Amino acid sequence: MDVNKNTYIFGFAAVMVLIVASLLSVAAISLKPLQDKNVEAEKKQNILSTLGIEVSREEAAKVYKEKITDSYVINMNGELVEGDAFTIDLGKELKKSKESQVFPIFESQDEGTTSYIIPLRGKGLWGPIWGFIALNDDMSTVSGAVFDHKSETPGLGAEISLSWFQEPFIGKQIFDGAEFKSIKVVKGGAKPDDLHAVDGISGGTITADGVSDMLDERLSNYLPFLIEKRNNTLESAVDTLLMDSTSTAYTLNYLR
């Protein structure tokens, strides 16, 4: 058989493509449910870890149910809209215009304090980066942050997924008084007393800038919601203070 005849070459190529294509599609389709389960469990794991809870992938679903007490979706004006916060694909949302985007929020109530977890997504050097950031009920103090990436360089940009990079976010403020400041990742290291900055990564500046931009862009969409909640907590804080002062006055009177 002459393997260099044109007809043979075409035949060979066609058969090869058919075999390879069917092999790969069978593999992709039959493994998809298992892969999706892994991705979903990982997302739950990530959300939980912003609350400081580390669980194995197997237990993630169970613990998630216990800890995440509420989740909802808002639009850019901070109004509630229909939708399942967990299944929203931010990658797709980001392609839409701001007005038609929806923004998911997860809530966790634990011993009287509420944490609000906001999912993030942005651009790294080679591909998308994403993460979650948890805010205290003052809507400004970060209580936890996780980041992950698709294809950043190991040892450089990929370091955003490690705890040494994520831990410094805890305790930072996204508001300075009433002004929205976000949190910047600073090349060359942040000043220790700066509440709005964390240390960057040597050799990973573009990814780190991506994290800064992502935080700024994503969080700014939640501003109406955050500010409203913030005012509520401030009011109630003032109320308690007032109540305290009246009771103090009573006590003082009584003592007299």
Partner 1 sequence: MSKKKESLFSTKNRKLITDPLNDNNPVTTQVLGICSALAITVQLKPAVVMAISVIVVMSVANVVVSLMRNLIPSRIRIIVQLVVIASLVILVDQVLRAFVYDVSKELSVFVGLIITNCIIMGRLEAFALGNKPWKSFLDGLGNAFGYGWILIAVAFFRELLGAGTLYGYPVLEKLGLYELGYANNGMMILPPMALVTVGIIIWIQRMKNRDLIES
Query: How many whole angstroms separate alpha carbon 250 and alpha carbon 195?
Result: 39
Rounded to whole angstroms, the Cα distance separating 110 from 94 reads: 31
Residue 90: C-alpha distances to residues 52, 55, 64 (Å): 23, 24, 20
DSSP 195: T
Of 160 and 219, CB closest to partner 1: 160
In the list 52, 155, 171, 189, the residue contacting partner 1 (rule: CB under 8 A) is 155
Pick the binder of partner 1 from 14, 24, 234, 237 (CB under 8 A).
24
The residue (of 154 and 192) whose beta carbon lies closer to partner 1 is 154
Binding partner 1 (rule: CB under 8 A), the pick from 23, 237, 241, 243 is 23
Binding pattern to partner 1, positions 35-54, x when CB under 8 A? x--x---x------------
Q: How far apart are CA 19 and CA 39, in angstroms?
A: 29
Contact 104, 116 (CB under 8 A): no
Q: How far, in Å, CA of 133 to CA of 238, rounded? A: 27
| 18 contributes a contact to partner 1 by CB under 8 A | no
Residue 194 CB, shortest distance to partner 1, in Å, is 22
* Minimum distance of partner 1 from residue 240's CB (angstroms): 46
Q: Which of 110, 150, 167, 248 binds partner 1 (CB under 8 A)?
A: 150
- How many alpha carbons fall within 13 Å on the CB side of residue 94? 14
Q: Which residues bind partner 1 (CB under 8 A)?
A: 3-4, 8-9, 12-13, 16-17, 20, 23-24, 27-28, 31, 34-35, 38, 42, 57, 126, 150-156, 202-203
